[in-house]
Amino acid sequence: MSNIKYILGHFADPDDLMHGIDKLQEGNVKIYDVYTPMPIHGIEDKLGIKRSRLGKVAFCFGLTGTITAITMIWYMLVYDWPMNIGGKPHFAFPDFVPIMFELTVLFCAFGMVGTYFFVNHLAPGRAPRVMDLRATNDRFVVAIDAKENPYHDKIDNILKEAGAVEVKHNERKYVSYE
């Protein structure tokens, strides 16, 4: 077997790309992923991509913020240094709500930024993972795992017949920025 790891089909137009995906699926070719410079309606359903778990992550970060806020306020204003503010009870819950709300939002927002960097390998000093640089510019790229899918000539033909402007056989998964 060859050293080819991934076959990349480049399309110049989203309509051609969708057509290409249909043709590959008709030919029972398993698609690894698709990279496009812009979101395309309906592509998730076509590729059978599962719903993102981002919402659950966001909820966990938010809940952490709420708990942090209420613990902090409770420690400061109820346990450690209770003060008489306007004759209210020390645990004056309505007063705490804005802080709980703000910390929920803050933790959630920071958590989402962190998650974004983590998932996309964008930590400082790390090279971003990109399979083809033009997928961030003007090309719609279908990636096919060459080890999983034999008959590379057949795949090439399907891609070209569907309107691919370029077909690449890559021996490395990601391009580097060197």
Partner 1 sequence: MGNHNHTHTHNFSEQFIFSGKLKTWTLIAIVVGVLSIAFGFLTDHAERTYANLLLMAYYFACVCATGTFFIALQYVAQAGWATGLLRIPQAMSRVLPIASVVLFVVCAAGLATHNLYHHWHAEGITDPNSPNYDMIIANKAVYLNVPFFLTRLAVFLGAYSFFAYLFAKYAQREAEQGGLVFYDKSIKWSAVFLIIFGFTTPIWAFDTIMSLEAHWFSTMFGWYNFAAMWVSGLCVITLIVILLKKGGYLSWVNENHLHDLGKFIFAFSIFWTYVWFAQFLLIYYANMPEETVYFYKRWEPEYLPWFWVNIIINFVAPILILMARGSKRHTNTLLFVCIMLLCGHWLDYYMMIMPGTVEAERGFGIIEIGIAIGFAGLFAFLTLNQLSKRSMVPTNHPFLDESLHHQI
Of residues 40 through 69, those in contact with partner 1 by CB under 8 A are: 40-43, 51, 55
Count, residues near partner 1 per rule CB under 8 A: 16
Q: How far is the CB of 95 from partner 1 (least distance, A)?
A: 6
CA distance 170 to 132: 10
Q: Which of 94, 137, 153, 176 binds partner 1 (CB under 8 A)?
A: 94
- Does residue 125 interact with partner 1 by CB under 8 A? no
Nearer to partner 1 by Cβ, of 6 and 62: the residue is: 62
Q: Which of 95, 102, 161, 171 binds partner 1 (CB under 8 A)?
A: 95
Q: How far is the CB of 151 from partner 1 (least distance, A)?
A: 27
- Does residue 86 interact with partner 1 by CB under 8 A? yes
Nearer to partner 1 by Cβ, of 44 and 156: the residue is: 44
The C-alpha torsion from 22 through 25 and 27 to 33, rounded to 10°, is: 110
Q: How far is the CB of 101 from partner 1 (least distance, A)?
A: 9
Encoded amino acid at 10, one letter: H
Q: With beta carbons less than 8 A apart as the criterion, state whether 144 and 24 touch.
A: yes
